[in-house]
Amino acid sequence: MIIEMRTYQLRPATLAEAEKRFGAALPIREKHSRLAAFWHTEIGPLNQIMHVWPYESFEHRAEVRAAAAKEEGWPPPIREFTVSQQSEIFIPAPFSPNLDPRDVGPIFEIRAYTMIPGAIPEMIDRWSKKIDERQKLSPLVGAWYSEFGALNKWVHIWAYRDAAERQRIRAEAVARGLWPPGGAASGIVVKQENLMVMPSAFSPLR
């Protein structure tokens, strides 16, 4: 499986209308493959939307996108609102959950780490030893590493009911020695970023 995350920067004050138009057009697109998640930024760069699409392979992605492009009504008419677009392709780690519809939010934290070259296998190994206990505190939505886009990138997404729950769980994980798995302290992580996002009304993951 591969996962495509498409991030669009929108003009201020256009987010609500862009989501409305995207949601209206979505049934046309989902005749060919399903949407996994649709989020907008709450904390971090504002006026961004992110849509996440799982595919069986690169060939499947190419076939689906070609078929969808022939449909009247797709892509949704949001070009007038869009400042920039970014597409990234990720491969899920062995322990990454399936991107099934779930009601686990509505706060999602997207953490993106830049690793030193060649460090992804070590990161997977470190996480494999601790992720089961960490997931008992809050659900992991995804743990992925980049295939196309920015290289040596590790992305993990966590769901919380609210900001207070996030703070409590992160503090508990550290206090109990359950987390973090040690990647940053080992020197294999050279940059860390995070976003807080919220789901749209039509997002399967919410």
pLDDT mean over 26-42: 98
How high is the pLDDT of residue 186?
Answer: 76
The amino acid at residue 170 is R
Q: Which helix (H) or strand (E) holds 137?
A: none
What percent of the chain has pLDDT above 70? Answer: 99
How high is the pLDDT of residue 182?
Answer: 76
Q: Are 140 and 109 in contact (CB under 8 A)?
A: no
How high is the pLDDT of residue 183?
Answer: 64
How high is the pLDDT of residue 154?
Answer: 98
pLDDT mean over 150-161: 97
- Residues facing residue 88 across a β-bridge: 5
How high is the pLDDT of residue 137?
Answer: 96
pLDDT mean over 58-74: 97
How high is the pLDDT of residue 68?
Answer: 97
The length of the chain in residues reads 206
Distance between CA atoms of residues 200 and 206, nearest Å: 8
The string of pLDDT tens digits covering residues 97-137 is 999 999 999 999 999 999 999 999 999 999 999 999 999 99
- All domains of the chain in start order, with CATH: 2-199 (3.30.70.100)
> For tokens 């709450």, what's the residue?
42
| SS3 of residue 162 by DSSP | coil
Distance between CA atoms of residues 44 and 46, nearest Å: 6
DSSP 79: G
How high is the pLDDT of residue 204?
Answer: 98
| SS3 of residue 105 by DSSP | coil
Distance between CA atoms of residues 11 and 71, nearest Å: 26
How high is the pLDDT of residue 184?
Answer: 67
Q: Interior CA angle at 164 toward 141 and 107, to 5°? A: 35
The string of pLDDT tens digits covering residues 82-92 is 999 999 999 99
Question: Does pLDDT of 185 surpass 70?
Answer: no
